[in-house]
Amino acid sequence: MDTNLLNNYVLKAIDAYPYDLEETVENLNYALSYENTNAYALYLMGRLQSEQLGDYEKAKYYFAEALASKMDFVKVYPKYILVLIWNHDYDEAQKLIDFALTVKSIQKGELMVLQAQLLECQDAYKKALKTFKKAKLYVYNNSFMAFIDSEITRVKNKIKPKKKKASKKKKTKKGKQKKKKD
């Protein structure tokens, strides 16, 4: 296979995604027909399936194939983990996060944010807050730091209504008990 031709199709697909989906699909199909184990083409096909078509099962397949082809392809891990979270495959997402943290040159801050979001999906809000704060140790730009701060605020806002509801229920029970005594 002519590597330049394969790379040309992959680069055309990268350039077209997400603005020209027809061209993206056409070039990905050409690239995968030349080399069905091309990690970048498989990764981009996974993104197309999850982000544009909402087919998480197919996306999981393509991401898994991309990693099988090239385990150190760090771009795959965050997108794959996110798809697993969206698909409610929490145990699988946790295993992939644990493994991804061992991969050389991975963005640990991004993985820690995904870990926190996974915990949030499992209603472990306090653990999620701790993990978001831990993620800040691995962040090296202000915009991502601001994003984490907004995530922390969002999770804190989820905790507050639960506390208010619990205190209101206690007050109404106490009020009912006092009325019964009278």
The closest alpha carbon to 35, from 7, 58, 15, belongs to 7
Is the C-alpha dihedral spanning 97, 102, 104, 109 positive or negative? positive
What is the overall mean pLDDT for the chain? 92
pLDDT in the model for residue 87: 97
User: Is there a contact between 158 and 125 (Cβ–Cβ < 8 Å)?
Assistant: yes
133 sits in the region (left: phi over 0; alpha: psi -120 to 50; else beta) called alpha
Distance of CA 182 to the CA centre of its chain: 56
- Is the pLDDT at 166 greater than 90? The verdict is no
- Is the pLDDT at 116 greater than 60? The verdict is yes
Rounded percentage of the chain residues whose pLDDT exceeds 90 = 85
Confidence of residue 70 (pLDDT cuts 50, 70, 90): very high
CATH 3.30.390.10 fits 1-90, yes or no: no
Return the structure tokens found at 163. Answer: 């506390």
Specify the DSSP class assigned to residue 141: S
**Domain spans of the chain, in order of start:** 1-90, 107-168
What CA–CA distance (Å, rounded) separates 28 from 53?
A: 15
The closest alpha carbon to 92, from 80, 104, 74, 102, belongs to 80
The tokens 């996306």 sit on which residue? 59
User: Is there a contact between 90 and 81 (Cβ–Cβ < 8 Å)?
Assistant: no
Return the structure tokens found at 77. Answer: 């891990």
Higher pLDDT among residues 66 and 169, named by residue:
66
Rounded percentage of the chain residues whose pLDDT exceeds 70 = 87
Confidence of residue 160 (pLDDT cuts 50, 70, 90): confident
The tokens 């991401």 sit on which residue? 63
Confidence of residue 3 (pLDDT cuts 50, 70, 90): confident
Return the structure tokens found at 153. Answer: 């605020």
